Amino acid sequence: MVAINFTVFIDKIRNGTKKQTIRKWNSDRVKQMRDKKILQLYTGMRTKECKLLEEVELEEILQLLIKPNDQWLFDLEIYYYLKHKWVTLSPEDELELIKLDGFENRDSFFNWFNKRYNLKTDLFAVIRWK
């Protein structure tokens, strides 16, 4: 089993509306998840308030590239790695990805990720569970 900690969207995990998380790409961690296939979703890890939210089965892990748009300094583009090539997400697919991750809109998604990761061009893992 592989443990993943959450600090936000706890209610959405519990009620089943959040079934994915996006994390910085780490090949060793991705391999571990694919090998184990069971994820333990926690909040408050490494504290006295640590709670197991759910134990879930891994559905898939996708590669995601977030990079600054060449034309707009504060705009970002999202790409999926599909069938051995990078594909730009359509605005509809981008919004679906953002909502599946628990965010209401593009601005809240990018603001949170920029605060957390100081976004430049970065590779992420979209981790989905059943």
Q: What percent of the chain has pLDDT over 90?
A: 69
Alpha-carbon distance of 56 to 129, in angstroms, equals 6
Say what the pLDDT of residue 53 is.
98
3-state secondary structure of 87: strand
**Global pTM exceeds 0.85:** yes
**Tens digits of per-residue pLDDT, 56-114?**
999 999 999 988 765 544 567 788 888 788 998 888 999 999 999 999 998 899 889 88
Alpha-carbon distance of 59 to 49, in angstroms, equals 28
Strand runs labelled E in the chain: 2-6, 20-24, 38-43, 51-68, 76-82, 85-88, 122-129
Q: Which CATH number goes with the domain that contains 86?
A: 2.30.130
Say what the pLDDT of residue 82 is.
82
What range defines the domain where residue 96 resides? 2-129
Higher pLDDT, 122 or 22: 22
- Across residues 36-62, what is the average pLDDT? 97
Please give the tally of structural domains in the chain: 1
